[in-house]
Structure 1
Amino acid sequence: MANFPTSLLGQRVLVLGGGVSGMAALRLLRERQAIPLLCNSEPVPSVAETFVKEDVSLASLLPLALVVKSPGVSPGHAVIKQAHSLMIPVVSEVEFARGFFTGKLLGITGTDGKSTTTALTCHLLSKDFPGATAGGNIGHAFSEFCTKPIPLAVLELSSYQLQDSGPLQLDVSVILNLAPDHLERHGTLDEYFSAKSRIIDRNNPRHTLVVSSKLFRERVQKLNCLCRVQTFGREQGNDAIILDEARTIQTAQALYDAKSFPLSGGHNLENLSAAILAAEASGGKPVNIQSAISSFTGLPHRFQNAGRAAGISFINDSKSTNLHSMLAGMSTWKDRKTTCLILGGRPKSESPEPLKDFLKAGMGWVILFGEARNIWGEEISTILGDRLIQADTLEEGFAWLKNAIRTGRAKLQSVVFSPACASFDQYKNFEERGEHFLSMVRRWAEEEP
């Protein structure tokens, strides 16, 4: 299964990158009684293992059985090049952990929705597979639980993790969608898809790939996979057919009622249909899948109900870090004319045209903050006029919003915080950004008499 020896007793292994994945790999190496070394940009105080700098000469560390690479490390890193020249195997943390896992394994990727769908798929299978665990790029790194007696695991897999991995031999893989993202690393959309498609066990007829009908037509069909392929979409002929008005999903095994599914939006019905197909392919019983649909609570920072203040509903979608994600969530949003959309942060390398088309179709107000105001501000202003508020920070934008509500300038029913940008201009990550938004909503609610 793995292209490295899983018996690492007494062997020296270099872990490249001291983030969450790297630290999990270090702990697993200790458990396997290997001799781990950590290579990172700076020492990690909690690590007792030998630390080596990034400019290390690998020849001085020989013999090395393996290099385990963290996903955040560039494939062109000097240590990786040295390892290749010295014929030292290089594996991703996910591929490393895969060599020790004995349960059923599902993997989920896509530009947007993969965290929600990973957690949802695990939830739908929790009755048929007690102890089912979600992890990978969500929650715990795979190395944290790969040696435990878990019957089934569902992994969220990013393009970075997949780009670094050899065949993962998943039982079921899911590709939800594709839009330009992380092109600073992958270069082109084709290369980005090439990384995503590594999730597929193409030549294994026992493997099931679940994919959107659009992506299947545009790209996956050309791969000529020998595995079983199932599609989801709104057209007849799909293996999971979504009926938005009835809020049902029809598969060959059952007609699923999604009226009680707590997550709103057509994009979440797509996530649910993918999760249902993956659950069925894994052996989940339709009756148990149906019973679990209504009890899924969603994830923090992804269309999360943030509460009410001044009679307005607030939605926290801080996990929206690109335009495709924001548009997927807002495309079916009702009452746009009484909604204020908050955008901002550091825009990614995407064309703004889809955003402009969306705003031309109607939006009550928009707050634009951070670096995005310098990139999108002028073009959006020509569409919205004085219904666009530009601010340096989210705090400043929120202050304007409170004043506009109190004075009656803006009559709103909803405020949706869906930034469509990376958070790194002002925050460590989207979680910190989302928590800041939630705290401002709470403060506003507490100010009310």
Structure 2
Amino acid sequence: MNLTCVAGLGVSGTAVARVLAARGERVVVVEAVEGERQLAAAAELARVGVETRFGEPALPEGATRLVTTGWAPHHPLVAAALRAGVEVVGEVELAWRLRPAQAAPWLALTGTNGKTTAVRMLTSILLAAGRKAVAVGNVGVPVVQAVAEPYDALAVELSSFQLHWSATLAPHAAAVLNVAPDHLDWHGSMEEYAAAKGRVFERAGTVIFNADDPEATRLAAPYPGAVGFTLRVPRRGELGVVEDLLVDRAFVADPVEAAEELATLEDIRPFAPHNVANALAAAALARSLGVPSEAVRQGLRDFVPDPHRLAHVDRIGEVDYIDDSKATNPHAAAAALASYPSVVWVAGGLLKGADVDELVRQAAPRLRGAVLLGADRARIAEAIARHAPNVPLVDIADRDTGAMEKVVTEAARLASPGDTVLLSPAGASLDMFANYPARGEAFARAVRGLRARREHGR
């Protein structure tokens, strides 16, 4: 019997092991961390005949396939499998191969930023159209688990890690939101990162791209008939914006003479230019499946944004406090900063090798102050000194649990009526917090504390 090795006991790895075991295959999971959650998962898998090996991950003898859930090609286990001629596939690729006959069409979406928001918008639109649909992949349910269910469509969020290990994926339609430097430590270069994103187009039935994003446009260029979306007035074969309307000039009977209204800007929450782009991408994917315009509008109205994405925390003394902790790279922070005219910026964390110079240069006219925290805050401070030398800057060196209270106190001191205090860090959170939600929650607690002190005159 062939042996499949599964890398890791995460949500996707556990799902892969269960699915393969149910098919009668021999499965060994390798996991480096022997924590409480991992031990519980291993015990559950043992009941269905799956062996788990803890310790430094090593390829089991006789393994014919390695299923990775995001491990990099240079990881010792993956590198060993490749050297040994063992096939390496991702969970998404495995799910594509295992899908049954008459399986639900895949509507796939990738990008550096906005993926989860756009995929959840897409799911909301599909549900409004009466389609049984679910968000899967890099969000929600593991794909390998969802493919066996009787859905009408799968809204598939794909990371560059997942696309790297997906060789035969052929979605009904695929969209690229944007491409900017990120995860270069994993991919090795910007060229390799962009190439991984572009794999989503290779066998897609319909190619959809952000016509306002140069890299997404470049990736779509080899595909005749690709559909663009833009914040400008759309040309033939595009979706775009006319005054306050989202309109379709691609999925209509006569794209030369006709355009169909899909929604208004008021239907998009939270309103920001990048969320309009997310909505257009979601609408294009849904329209490729024949979803009517009425469902696009209703789906956008029904959509509930995930936490920590331009979430309004409070308004204190005519200053708004916004939690955008999900902005873990400069491209995401740039989109957030462009959404407000006058900002006291809270930033810092782990930049993962990304450059912040262009981000600060573009944001400089909007900055009224900056409060920096985290491991790479000095690099942001240097960029501010170059491009916005007159902007007041506060450096918070503390790394303890009380640091965010100091951050919010200093941001409030720098802010004037009409300003927005914006937590949009441009870096990952793991230098100080368990994850980006924990960072956002710490910010929200500190803002609530500020309100309490103001109300009690302290």
* Amino acid in structure 1 at the alignment position of 2:11: V
1:109, CA displacement in angstroms?
0.4
When the two structures are superposed, what TM-score results if normalisation uses the length of structure 2? 0.85
The structure 2 residue matched to 1:45, chosen from 39, 44, 48, is 39
| Aligned-partner SS, 1:341 | strand
Conserved in 1, the CA contact under 8 Å of 2:178 and 2:215?
no
Who is 2:450 aligned against?
Answer: 444
- Matches for 1:59-138 after TM superposition, within 5 Å: 61-62=61-62, 64-71=63-70, 73-101=71-99, 102-138=103-139
- The answer to whether the 8 A contact 1:244-1:266 is kept is no
Within 5 A, what are the aligned runs for 1:42-441? 42-43=33-34, 44-46=38-40, 47=42, 48=46, 49-52=50-53, 53-54=55-56, 56=58, 58=60, 61-62=61-62, 64-71=63-70, 73-101=71-99, 102-202=103-203, 207-213=205-211, 214-215=213-214, 218-222=217-221, 224-225=222-223, 228-233=225-230, 234-237=232-235, 239-243=237-241, 245-252=243-250, 253=252, 254-256=260-262, 257-334=264-341, 336=342, 339-381=343-385, 383-385=388-390, 387-393=392-398, 395-396=402-403, 398-399=405-406, 401-402=408-409, 405=412, 410-411=416-417, 413-441=419-447
Structure 2 segments unaligned to the other structure (5+ residues): 253-259
CA distance in 2, matches of 1:397, 1:83: 44
- Aligned-pair distance for 1:90? 2.0
Q: Report the Cα distance in structure 2 between the residues aligned to 1:403 and 1:377, rounded to whole angstroms.
A: 16
Paired with 1:23 and 1:386, the residues of 2 have a C-alpha distance of 49
CA distance in 2, matches of 1:55, 1:309: 51
Shift of 1:349: 2.3
Do the aligned partners of 2:344 and 2:421 also contact (CA within 8 Å) in 1? yes
Q: Deviations over 1:174-205 (max 9, x none)?
A: 10111111111212221111111111134x6x
Alignment RMSD? 2.6
Give the conservation status (yes or no) of the 8 Å contact 2:4–2:65.
yes
Look up the SS of the partner of 1:354 in the other structure: helix
CA drift at 1:134: 0.2
**Which one of 30, 34, 55 corresponds to residue 25 of structure 2?**
34
Judged with a 3 Å threshold, the aligned counterparts in structure 2 of structure 1 residues 283 and 216 are, in CA distance, closer, same or farther, namely farther
Contact 1:343 1:419 (8 Å CA) reproduced = yes
CA displacement at 1:154 relative to structure 2: 0.7
Residues in 2 aligned to 1:121 and 1:317: alpha-carbon distance in whole angstroms = 21
Deviation at 1:409, TM superposition (A): 7.5
Q: Normalising by structure 1, what TM-score?
A: 0.87
Asked if structure 1 preserves the Cα contact closer than 8 Å seen for 2:176 and 2:216, the reply is no
What is the CA-CA distance between 1:215 and the residue it aligns to?
A: 3.5
Structure 1 equivalent of residue 256 of structure 2: none
Query: 2:303 & 2:59 partners in 1: Cα distance?
Result: 50
Equivalence for 1:15: 6
Alpha carbons of structure 1 residues 55 and 259: separation in structure 2 relative to 1, 3 Å:
closer
In the TM superposition, residue 208 of structure 1 has moved relative to its aligned partner by 0.6
Matched to 2:168, the amino acid is: P
Q: Distance in 2 between matches of 1:57 and 1:278?
A: 39
Q: What secondary structure does 1:45 align onto?
A: helix
Q: Deviations over 1:340-363 (max 9, x none)?
A: 221111123233321331343132
Q: Distance in 1 between matches of 2:207 and 2:432?
A: 38
- Distance in 2 of aligned mates of 1:211 and 1:446: 46
Match of 1:7 in 2: none
Equivalent position SS for 1:364: strand
